[in-house]
A and B are shown apart, each in its own frame.
Chain A
Amino acid sequence: MDLSYELKKRFGYDQFRPGQEEVVQSILQQENTLAILPTGMGKSLCYQLPGEMLSGLVVIISPLVSLMEDQVASLRKRGEKRVAAINSFLPQEQRKQLFKDIHTIKFLFISPEMLNRPDIGRFLTNLSISILVVDEAHCISQWGFDFRPDYLRLGEFTRLAGNPPVLALTATADQQVERDIIQYLQMTEANVIRQSVDRPNLKYFVERLNSERDKTEWLKNRLTATSGPGIIYVSSRKRAEELTRILQQDGHQIASYHAGKEAGDRHIIQQQFLSGELSWICATNAFGMGVHKENIRQVIHDQLPASAAAYVQEAGRAGRDGNRSSAVLLYVEEDEQKVRFIVQNDLPEESEVHHFVAMRKSGHTIEVSAELAGISETSARLIQYYSETLTIEDVLKTFTKLKYDKEEKLREMISYVSENTCLREKLLFYFDEHISDRYDVCCSVCGIRSEDWLLNKSNVKNNRTLLNWEERIELLLCPHS
């Protein structure tokens, strides 16, 4: 079969990006496939192309409503209208209508929560599913940084659906996460197609500093000397606000972004960043997923991420256009303790587990029990899931192990910032990869004399001016003259 012809005909592209063709081949041969492709390598094409070529429904499990919508929109934009999405926001009436018209749908996006509902699960297992796609498949692993307990039940769905070929997609998975994905999705004889996480155009830097104040000073100089667009990741809302204020005083077009901001402002800030009106975003890790900006030149971490996988994911938002970009990590010694505290606090304590289980036994709902036990809803669903098959003792053991693993992940980052080994080599090592090529410009350990690609000062200066209100309305809605 001439896949290049199909690619040209259906998508208008002349060639595949690395890894894509292999994945498509594998799926067309009905093989369970795990594709680990770095961000921006066109993961969605991996199911869209075979989906178009095969008969039957493509079911795509997606963890975020916004991601789902992005993908629905991009399919529609391409002219594929046989698309629908089911999530908890879809009114029941419309869901019923959709089920009636299911034969007119080719690509069905669904959240794992909805798929786990018995009525919906049953309905879907009776359909002819050509490919079951699990997007952001790392969410299935407790060792992934975005664990979603609802993903754990997907394996059962696959079985009930008569084992259609499963395509698990993710940007980052080390061996452990890879094993989890294959095990929980029950992907027998899985074909693993792994594209290196190495991003040659990304240059890694670690800056070891003495204090929080030094970090701020460093950032001030950095933004004055180099150009964006860029993201500064910080660990708290407070820091995001403070840092933004300081950098604004230097005249930079920067805005803060975190979950505590007014929803309207969050949207506006994203929009301004995409359009280039803002050069910098100072954000907590709430910012990033679903934001498609190709020309981000720098991602700077003001604080240690919880794992190498998280770091690779966040830093990887830079340079999607393939041009040279910088990933900088600022580190002071106290950071280790700070991050450890945050990370370990994510998991419930023994007493909290007991409390939650007792509340469940006395007949409370998961939500109420979680609240009474003072734990997060994710923790609650986690306990719920494990306690269905394990004894309390084993649940506790599992959590102890998880805490231990999280500590291990944190150690990776500590060693990343404190040892004198090539940074690229280190990051690759965590994904069981080895450096194949040496780059003349690699990382701060290998030595980089100057970041001349960032010196081109093209940062937007403040040229925001208020319009007369009538003109502003015309600018928004009337034909441009």
Chain B
Amino acid sequence: MKLSSIILKIVEKMDGQRSLNASLHVLRGKRSGQTIQDVDYFSIKPFFSLLPKLQESTFLEAVNELNSHELIIEKQGIIYLTQKGRLASAQLPEFRFDGWNYRGQIETFNLRLLLLVQTLSQVRLSKNSFLPITNDRNVQQFIKELLRNLPATRQKTAALLAAELQSCIKQSEMSELQATVISHRLTGAEASGWTWEQLEEALEESRNSLQLELLEGLHRIIALSETTDYARKLPILHKLAEGIRIETPLTESTVITKKLFDQGLSIDEIAVVRKLRSSTIEDHITEIATNDKDFPILQFVELIDLEAVQDEVNRNEVKRLRLLKEKFPHLSYFQLRLILSTAKGERV
């Protein structure tokens, strides 16, 4: 599975309406108003936040491939699909991603699956001491809890999980290649997993492509396992998929805004949802940013602007918004406030 194929699908949906960057934002799951509106408007929710860590260079490489095969063409910053591109897109298999609903959670599911298989594989042979495949505390805690609540012996549970996995993979209708990648990334006693490098060599496919195969395979597994229908048929996998789907619980003021924001809603969307003015929501966001050192400020401000303003603040001790606004007229007051609140760790 190629990244270029996925991009081709997205471009097809946004044909002649958006720039190249819009596709990148969708794949990375940028939480700006524009991107959120785009995925809704162009029905590309399945691709949203599919590759949160996608490098721009990797993205451009894939785009170049499409360009050189004349599948897409760029005119005045807007991307169009060519006739050839349309045909190529029609040839592609249907992707079964669900980025919108599982965004950022696939890795959690993957780690849970890896650790559960590893643990059962080990304890089934009474090899209780092993190096866990992930150090993620939450995942470890989750698996511990899950195992505590499974009544069968470990040997039995292991065999049950094997049967569930096999049946789930078959019913998901994923390709042989996907099943091969998924099963060889799993690791356990006397059967170490394969590194990407080793899989690349054995399957003669690039790592990027194999990782996409794995990703889509996992989407398929989760989609099947999480349904209440399968709670009885695939009980272990069903438990493993718990909480992977993004939910939207509603509580109180900034907390509500934060929750909505964490779901990926834009400021305007939150305002609509909450029947509040956008400026109020912006206040909430600024507040969230102030209190969260990991706040993803780059979703609202370009790095170059962020650094320029911080530089200005540090050098000339300028904190007044109006003065900053004069220096940086292209930035909104909201953006400036955000930069100040995160950079200085205090409200302005």
Residues in chain A within 8 A of chain B (CB atoms): 65-66, 73-74, 76-77, 89-91, 255, 262-265, 267-272, 274-275, 277, 363-365, 367-368, 372, 464-467, 469-470, 472-479
Contacts and interface: CB of A to CB of B under 8 A. Distances in A.
B96 interface: no
B129 A473 contact: no
B300 to A, nearest CB: 19
B171 interface: no
B202 A267 contact: no
B192 A275 contact: yes
Contact of A466 (B117, B161, B166, B203): B203
A466 B194 CA distance: 9
Interface string B212-227: 0000000000000000
B158 A477 contact: yes
B141 A477 contact: no
What secondary structure prevails in chain B residues at the interface with A? helix
Given A368-B345, A477-B188, 6 more contacts: A265-B195, A267-B133, A268-B195, A469-B184, A473-B165, A479-B159
A247 to B, nearest CB: 13
A363 B347 CA distance: 13
For the complex of A and B, list the 10 residue pairs with the smallest distance between their C-beta atoms, beginning with the closest. A477-B162, A469-B179, A472-B183, A89-B137, A469-B183, A476-B188, A477-B158, A271-B192, A268-B193, A265-B195
| Most chain B CB inside 10 Å of its own CB: which residue of A265, A275, A365, A477 | A477
Interface in B108-165: 114, 117, 120-121, 124, 128-129, 131-135, 137, 141, 155, 158-159, 161-162, 165
Contacts of B193: 264, 268, 271
A272 B345 CA distance: 45
B314 A268 contact: no
Contact of A264 (B114, B137, B159): B114
Contacts of B141: 91
B162 A77 contact: no
B135 A477 contact: no
Contacts of A89: 137
B293 interface: yes
B191 to A, nearest CB: 5
Contacts of B155: 479
B183 A65 contact: no
B22 interface: no
A79 B164 CA distance: 34
Nearest to B117: A476
Contact of B134 (A267, A368, A470, A478): A267
A478 B180 CA distance: 18
A271 B176 contact: no
B293 A367 contact: yes
Nearest to B155: A479
A367 B294 CA distance: 12
A271 B131 contact: yes
A265 B193 CA distance: 9
Contacts of A470: 166, 183
Contacts of B252: none
Contacts of A277: 192
Given A466-B203, A469-B176, A472-B186, A267 B120 contact: no
Nearest to B293: A367
Given A255-B197, A367-B293, A372-B314, A264 B188 contact: no
Contacts of A73: 129
A250 B343 CA distance: 51
B180 A477 contact: no
B159 A270 contact: no
B121 A476 contact: yes
A38 B315 CA distance: 52
Contacts of A479: 124, 155, 159
B187 A271 contact: yes
A478 B159 contact: yes
Given A268-B187, A270-B131, A464 B202 contact: yes
| Most chain B CB inside 10 Å of its own CB: which residue of A363, A473, A475 | A473
Nearest to A262: B196
30 contacts: A73-B129, A76-B129, A77-B129, A91-B137, A255-B197, A262-B196, A263-B135, A264-B193, A265-B196, A267-B131, A267-B132, A268-B187, A268-B195, A272-B192, A275-B192, A364-B344, A367-B293, A372-B314, A464-B202, A467-B183, A469-B179, A469-B180, A469-B182, A469-B183, A476-B188, A476-B191, A477-B158, A477-B165, A478-B159, A478-B162
Nearest to A266: B195
Contacts of B190: 275, 475
A467 B191 CA distance: 11
A268 B192 contact: yes
A74 B129 contact: yes
A274 to B, nearest CB: 8
B230 to A, nearest CB: 18
A475 B182 CA distance: 14
Contacts of B195: 255, 265, 268-269, 272
A476 B196 contact: no
Contacts of A465: 202
A264 B183 CA distance: 14
B198 interface: yes
A477 B124 contact: yes
Contact of B162 (A271, A367, A473): A473
Contacts of A267: 131-134, 187
B345 to A, nearest CB: 5
| Most chain B CB inside 10 Å of its own CB: which residue of A65, A91, A262, A475 | A475
B245 interface: no
B150 to A, nearest CB: 14
Nearest to A479: B155
Interface in B12-58: none
Nearest to A263: B134
A262 B184 CA distance: 16
B325 interface: no
B259 interface: no
Contacts of A367: 293
A274 B193 CA distance: 13
Interface string B280-293: 00000000000001
A464 B194 CA distance: 9
Contact of B194 (A268, A274, A275, A475): A268
B186 to A, nearest CB: 6
Interface in B249-303: 293
A66 B135 contact: yes
Contact of B191 (A262, A368, A472): A472
B198 A464 contact: yes
Given A262-B196, A469-B182, A477 B121 contact: yes
| Most chain A CB inside 10 Å of its own CB: which residue of B131, B162, B184, B346 | B131
B169 interface: yes
Contacts of B203: 466
Contacts of B132: 267
B196 A364 contact: no
A282 to B, nearest CB: 12
